[in-house]
Structure 1
Amino acid sequence: MNRNKRRQEDNSFTDYNNNNIKKPRQNKITLSDRITNLEDLSNELFYEIFEYLIDHHAFQAFYDLNYRFQKLVLNSNSTIKINISSISKSQFHHYLTDRIKPCTSRIELFRLSNPCIDPCSLLLPIMKNLTQLTTLILNNIEADFIEPIVNQLSSLPVLSSLTIVSIDNIITKNNLYSKLFQLPKLKYCQIYIELLDIPKKFSIATNEFSTIEWLVINHRISIDKLLILLTYVPQLRRLSIDDLVQSEFDQLSKTSTNLNYLTNVSLKFSFHFNVPFHQFEILVENYFHQVQVLNIRTQSVSLDLDTGKYLNANRWEQLISTSMLNLRIFNFQQSYRLFRSNEERQAFDYFINKFNSKFWIEHQWFFDFHYHETKRSTTAVFYSRNPYRKKDYVLYDELTDNIYLTCYDINEDPIHHICLHTTNIIKQCYDKFPNATELTFCEDFEVPRVDSIVVDLNRFLPLKQLTKLSIKCHRFTFEQLIELLQFTPNIHTLELDSIVLFRTDPILIQNHELTQWVSKINHITNVTIMKEITVEKIQLLTVAFPRIEHLTINLFKEDLRPIVKYLFSKLNNNTRYLSLLHISKQRHDWMILLKSIIKSKKLPRNYVFKVINRTLYIWW
């Protein structure tokens, strides 16, 4: 109170007792008077700060400061989003004990993507207390854990979104879909489980139906099994199938189930087991009457010279005119490889010219084609000219005239991922991809001097906006990568075919001022190197990207010892954030060798080792 009184007196410019004007007192203001302590901020403001942070980052930053922050973290009424991906083993146990378990009833979203964590041991003991959990995402988990978890999902009363992605093949023959379809609140379901099959005894639904409105199946499924599954989801609005294969039965039976709400469908047909067009017609005639958006992508080794299969414009016109009267957007792509003769190319030209009839023009559906030649093969691609709302876009050599029509301005479409095959296309697409966040340089991309294309690239897409960069071409040097990364400070995921030095001394690159600058400004936490790597290149990598949390590499056996010694050393400040290492294509004896290396070098032993699909996972 006295302090407030003094402030009032100091701010008074009038002396009412003497009725004279009084000059303000000249107080000396120190730097400490201007600084507000962090703890002076209100609880409400801290809760707003927490909302902008990943939950375990906020927990690590504030929980152990003092008693007040512990109470702030634990006693809030707001819901929690748990994301367990790049977190160290010691931090995880602290987070589990002092955050997840005490606040289980407040968890709204739970995401697990670390294959070294047993999801059953983590989730099953707390499952009944997850009363507010609406979204469960299990990514990169072992298939053996899936069924025990699915069996307990019915104890989650408000679960509305479920994603399950396995890292290996499933063995069980039980029908997991029948259990998922029984969840009473489920609206979104995404499944990717290799070798997951549907038992033959699984029959068409009669009186039990699912509430699912959005179904995504990314593993292989035959069209006859899909026809059965769809009878269980009468409320379905969106359907996406990533690997649809032909039925083993040539004749498919029609069903009486109507999908009156299904408006958006995306299908990719398997390359080796392409669905015959007559089987696809049955799927359309059964379920696609209300579809407004259809995305089709199919690949074939060769072209059927007689029917054209999916390049038969007349057959498409008949199918759309009779069974898809509500179709507004038709996004189609068909690719063929290995042309055997000039006759096949002439047949290809003949079939695609049929897509210029009055029917296609009236619907404003326009198409183009491209021949893409590599050293190994030739590919012909026939595709919808307007990209609509595609998230991925592949650019080859040159754009055909009028490829972007005014009515389908690409600037209005949220295309996020761009794949570049050549530099020729860049200048033709200035300002066409303002929403892109991912950039891929494809295998056949010819690398020019980076400084010669950076200006064009920045007009092609906003480099500062990129969050993921993938370089699959083989001659993109590490120096060129550093030159590019100085303009892309927000990238967090980096994928490289290899680290190319071209006889340049890696020490010189490490000490270069540009490398030092990129090391300070970049936020790269997730790195994948596809080809074998040496300890010298690992050292260069960690110097340039000292915030790596998750590293995936491939190496030769003789390089295992020096790389492990370097990465696991406590004295190595450049790997202080690294907590998850994947070594791909490893041999069976590598785990034994790795354990002996750690023991002999007296390195920290608090590690979890797992071998899944010939990949060695190490978490610490």
Structure 2
Amino acid sequence: MSRTLIEDLSNEFFYEIFEYLDSYEIYQAFFDLNNRFQQLLNSSYLLFKIRHCYSQSKEIIMNKYKQIFLHNKNQIFSVHLWILPDNNQFISSFTIDSSFIRLESLVFRPIEPDLLISLLPKLIYLPRLFSLTIDTWSALKDLGNIYQLIFNLRKLKYIKYKATESDDFDITVSLSIATNEQQVSTIEYLIIDHPCAYNELYNIISYTPQLRRLKFLNLSESNISIEVIKPMTLSNLTHLSINNYQMTFDEFEIFIKKLYSSKLKVLSFTTIVQDIAYLDANRWEEFILQNLPKLEEFILQNLPKLEEFYFKYSTYFEDHYETPMYSGKRDQFISPFWIERRWILQAEIELDNLIYSIRPYKKRWYEYNTQHKMINSCDQLSKFMRLILVNKSSEGWPNSLAINKYISHVLTVTQIHHMETQEHFFIGKLREILDLLSELDSLQIYSLSFSQSTCLSREEIENLLFLSTKNQITKLCLEIIILIEEVYFLIEIFPRINHLQVNFIHSMDVELFVRLILIQIKIKSNHPLRLLCFCVAAADDEMVHKLEKMINIENLLVDFTVKHVMNEIYLQWK
């Protein structure tokens, strides 16, 4: 019987493996192993990715990385360095020159400003440096000099610059606006992750007329009004992302008008400013149509348009604070303007925050019939509004009054048809929420719980009666079920469900699980349940065949189908 040795494997096979390894790991395993592997390491087909972690010992770093930089600098593709203060001398010792002919990406995280300023002029010699990521933890008051050095890198396409603001002073960017005589930057992707005032941002982007994607995460206050800043056109800008903590809707409108691009396809905006105008759907519609005229033309003539719109607005409730309430007409985010573009509003309650967001349509768990296509019905999309409950506190949910305030705020803006949470729910709490959300059609929760006692209290029985008679839920998803009795219970309190999904069946035989549910449905004549979905790690064609055989032999269903999609089993019947 012949044996296959590792030396018999092809070079292409090893190159494929090396794609997943850091250069240190490759050197550690194969350097000086034999002549064949030494040739592989020196081959121009192999590109090294250097990722130095601060947890590695200094001695190993000095030995291995010095060898790579000495013998294989023309094969280095990327360098990602986590730089501690005691490594500054090590980094400074590297000679960066044009011999790094394949180096395309550099990441310095974190790096001292003085060391960064000394390194940036050397990077100009790199012939293929397309990507640069900088993270400075030690605050520098003025970033203007660093930006000027970055703009001198003539091959750069992508730059992300993160700077931590000090408690002692505000970060500024002392950079004059670019003139016609200055050579502009080739940067196409710019991420600004540090405080930056209106005028400073406009001065920065005056150097980057080829920008395609712009993202800035912290627009700061400025003594200069946005209204006096000159307009600027970014002809190639297709993606714009803004995280802002101070900009009102009025200022946002002025800002976008001054930062004009006829090719803008994706707009993302996040704010915590307590300006209730952000929830005015009609104002958003008017603003987008007036400032992105191609949008209407696309509908009729298939011309360029704003394809994706992301928006996030956060508000909160506190004692002695009057939360702004929306007073306009409800359900304006389901007008034809929003539905035709498939931009969907949802609300999320996370601890003390209420977050409204708008994002493009994305298929949800209950859309069984649309696995390979999007919803086309305007009526379906108009009832797509979702409420998400997120509780990251070990102390449990805020009091009922707080939950009621949040939901009441949401209901001034939109009706809610779907609710999701990954939390345990006591039956009493669920009853309170469903009492407010009378139009709820789908519910996704982790699990349902009762009081600690073995017998139901009178209050819990009353809650059950309310749930079984009042709720309109037709689709139910539970993250976990431990006992089959939980399913029986759910069928009782949600008598209208036609779609039941369980994401984890704890220590339950699959055939037994399906058998008991179908027997229960058979006992309850005319029960509307017609689709059962559950996740099983071992889902395969054999499991599908066993279920089909069991159902047929025991005559549990007549007209049915069973199939699996990845690890999900779908059982549907008429």
The 1:314–1:248 alpha-carbon spacing in structure 2 relative to 1, beyond 3 Å, is farther
Residue 443 of structure 1 is matched in structure 2 by none
- In the TM superposition, what are the counterparts of 1:357-436 in structure 2 within 5 Å? 357-372=335-350, 374=351, 378-384=352-358, 386=360, 406=375, 422-424=421-423
- Show CA shifts across 1:560-611 (max 9, x none): xxxxxxxxxxxxxxxxxxxxxxxxxxxxxxxxxxxxxxxxxxxxxxxxxxxx
Residue 226 of structure 1 is matched in structure 2 by 201
Q: Pick the aligned partner of 1:329 from 308, 326, 329.
A: 308
Superposed displacement of residue 63, structure 1: 1.4
User: Would you say 1:111 and 2:80 are equivalent positions?
Assistant: yes
Superposed displacement of residue 344, structure 1: 4.0
- Show CA shifts across 1:259-285 (max 9, x none): 111111111113xxx123333223211
Q: Which amino acid aligns with 1:282?
A: I
Residue 180 of structure 2 is matched in structure 1 by 206
User: Would you say 1:350 and 2:328 are equivalent positions?
Assistant: yes
- Show CA shifts across 1:3-40 (max 9, x none): xxxxxxxxxxxxxxxxxxxxxxxxxx5xxxx3334344
Superposed displacement of residue 147, structure 1: 1.3
Residue 287 of structure 1 is matched in structure 2 by 259
Superposed displacement of residue 329, structure 1: 1.7
User: Would you say 1:182 and 2:152 are equivalent positions?
Assistant: yes
CA–CA separation in structure 2 for the residues paired with 1:53 and 1:299: 41
TM-score between both structures, scaled by the size of structure 2: 0.57
SS in 2 for 1:61: helix
- Show CA shifts across 1:459-510 (max 9, x none): 9xxxxxxxxxxxxxxxxxxxxxxxxxxx9xxxxxxxxxxxxxxxxxxxxxxx
Residue 61 of structure 2 is matched in structure 1 by 92
Q: CA RMSD in A?
A: 4.1
CA–CA separation in structure 2 for the residues paired with 1:187 and 1:135: 10
Q: Pick the aligned partner of 1:53 from 1, 5, 21.
A: 21
CA–CA separation in structure 2 for the residues paired with 1:362 and 1:298: 25
SS in 2 for 1:127: coil
SS in 2 for 1:140: coil
CA–CA separation in structure 2 for the residues paired with 1:193 and 1:68: 46
User: Would you say 1:310 and 2:278 are equivalent positions?
Assistant: yes
Superposed displacement of residue 363, structure 1: 3.6
Residue 152 of structure 1 is matched in structure 2 by 122
CA–CA separation in structure 1 for the residues paired with 2:47 and 2:114: 30
* Higher RCO structure, 1 or 2 (CA under 8 Å, sep 6+): 1
The 1:235–1:61 alpha-carbon spacing in structure 2 relative to 1, beyond 3 Å, is same
CA–CA separation in structure 1 for the residues paired with 2:21 and 2:349: 47
Contact between 2:231 and 2:257, CA under 8 Å: does it hold in 1? no
SS in 1 for 2:312: strand
Superposed displacement of residue 88, structure 1: 3.1
Percent identity of equivalent pairs: 28
CA–CA separation in structure 2 for the residues paired with 1:386 and 1:77: 41
CA–CA separation in structure 1 for the residues paired with 2:321 and 2:150: 51
The 1:56–1:351 alpha-carbon spacing in structure 2 relative to 1, beyond 3 Å, is farther
TM-score between both structures, scaled by the size of structure 1: 0.53
The 1:281–1:237 alpha-carbon spacing in structure 2 relative to 1, beyond 3 Å, is same
CA–CA separation in structure 2 for the residues paired with 1:152 and 1:452: 62
Contact between 1:223 and 1:245, CA under 8 Å: does it hold in 2? yes
Contact between 2:142 and 2:172, CA under 8 Å: does it hold in 1? no
Residue 268 of structure 1 is matched in structure 2 by 243
Superposed displacement of residue 54, structure 1: 2.4
The 1:84–1:172 alpha-carbon spacing in structure 2 relative to 1, beyond 3 Å, is same
CA–CA separation in structure 1 for the residues paired with 2:251 and 2:480: 49
